[in-house]
Amino acid sequence: MAEITAAVTKQQQALKSKSKVRRFLRQWDLQLMVIPALLLIFVFSYIPMYGVLTAFQDYNIFKGFLDSPWVGFKHFEMFFHAPEFERVMRNTIIISVLKLAIGFPAPIVLALMLNEVKNMYFKRFVQTVSYLPHFLSWVIVSGFAMSILSVENGSLNMLLQSLNLIKEPISFLSIPEYFWTIIVTTGVWKEIGFSSIVYLAAIAGIDPSMYEAASIDGASRFKQIYVITIPTIMPVVIIFMILAIGNLLSAGFEDLLLLGVNPILRDVSDVLDTYVYRTGITGQRFSYATAVGLFKAIISVGLLAFANLLARRTGNSLW
């Protein structure tokens, strides 16, 4: 009996692989179209990857890659023992967790709310206005933020003062306690509209007859959102969640660099990417910066794999 089943499965497998090859051959013209994309990725993403090897060298820009001496894990050790290590790691994790916890659900909520708006013109208007900031560079956004939060003639201070909520203007951008709030808020303001597009698209794909059926059964609008909209867009949400977790160590760069200019904020604003920028580009310690970047990349891949593992349980994993 066991022998028979084994033979059958073997046969099945052979059939399966044969049919795969056959299927591939039948689609050869379609498969050819993938080649340019693969080539592009290979040339621009895989070939330059040898550059990470400089993390194990004392890279000298004059000698070049081939003649620079190999030093093993020296730069990694230096980073782990650097006085800034603890602070940089702590800030990176806190800021990105905050951004994930607040910045990730925010566009979903916006999409759900927009979906309930019945006036098309108003909906379009809100959509356009909310995703415009995405196209502004951080230089401009931080300029806005700085002038709004400024002590002298800053609109927020003027507003709070005229409402008699505060007496003396507050120097928002030089109080470490406020910094994370400012970073998360400006980030949400900038990206909320644009990120919500994906969710709106997913919502638009829901069959309206489901809502009709639900309302005949007497489900309220909140109930409909809860039992129809959210479960239907869940796969999209989970895929974006996996990607977001993979980026957990990218706490942001331009925003922190531009809004955290005041050195008094260094304690709360210094993250991996700003640190790499300062040591690598400004300080010209290429190997050291590469080592820190590589460290970040390895952790990110680990996180991505872990998030995917969790998602597989729900059946919505990336791979």
Sign of CA dihedral 121, 126, 129, 133: negative
Q: What is the dihedral of CA 252, 148, 111, 313, to 10 degrees?
A: 30
> What is the rounded distance in angstroms from the CA atom of residue 197 to the CA atom of residue 95?
24
Interface map 2-41 toward another protein (x if CB under 8 A): ----------------------------------------
83 touches another protein by CB under 8 A? yes
User: Dihedrals φ, ψ of 57, to 5°?
Assistant: -120, 170
User: Dihedrals φ, ψ of 130, to 5°?
Assistant: -75, -25
264 touches another protein by CB under 8 A? yes
DSSP structural state of residue 47:
G
Among the listed residues 15, 101, 243, 281, the single contact to another protein using CB under 8 A: 281
Instruction: List C-alpha distances in Å: 41 to 46, 47, 49, 302.
Output: 7, 9, 11, 21
162 touches another protein by CB under 8 A? no
DSSP structural state of residue 65:
H
Structure tokens at 210: 């489901």
285 touches another protein by CB under 8 A? yes
284 touches another protein by CB under 8 A? yes
What is the closest distance, in whole angstroms, from the C-beta atom of residue 252 to another protein in the complex? 19
Count residues binding another protein (CB under 8 A).
Answer: 27
Structure tokens at 195: 């990120």
Helix (H) or strand (E) holding 17: helix 2-26
What is the closest distance, in whole angstroms, from the C-beta atom of residue 63 to another protein in the complex? 8
Instruction: List C-alpha distances in Å: 84 to 80, 246, 247, 268, 269.
Output: 9, 24, 21, 12, 12
What is the closest distance, in whole angstroms, from the C-beta atom of residue 266 to another protein in the complex? 5
Structure tokens at 266: 């260094």
Among the listed residues 48, 72, 208, 263, the single contact to another protein using CB under 8 A: 263
CB under 8 A: which stretch of 19-27, 145-153, 190-198, 221-229 binds another protein? 145-153
For helices 74-81 and 85-98, angle between their N-to-C axes, nearest 10 degrees: 80
What is the closest distance, in whole angstroms, from the C-beta atom of residue 265 to another protein in the complex? 8
What is the closest distance, in whole angstroms, from the C-beta atom of residue 285 to another protein in the complex? 5
Provide CB contacts within 8 A for 210, sequence distance 6+: 228
CB under 8 A: which stretch of 17-25, 26-34, 81-89, 231-239 binds another protein? 81-89
What is the closest distance, in whole angstroms, from the C-beta atom of residue 245 to another protein in the complex? 30
61 touches another protein by CB under 8 A? yes
Among the listed residues 85, 104, 150, 197, the single contact to another protein using CB under 8 A: 150
> What is the rounded distance in angstroms from the CA atom of residue 158 to the CA atom of residue 174?
17
β-bridge mates for residue 70, sequence order: 57
69 touches another protein by CB under 8 A? no
146 touches another protein by CB under 8 A? yes
64 touches another protein by CB under 8 A? yes
Among the listed residues 100, 117, 234, 261, the single contact to another protein using CB under 8 A: 261
Among the listed residues 266, 293, 299, 300, the single contact to another protein using CB under 8 A: 266
Structure tokens at 73: 């894990």
**Helix count and strand count (H, E) for the chain:** 18, 0
Residues in contact with another protein by the rule CB under 8 A: 61-62, 64, 82-84, 146, 150-152, 169, 171, 173-174, 261-264, 266-267, 278-279, 281-285
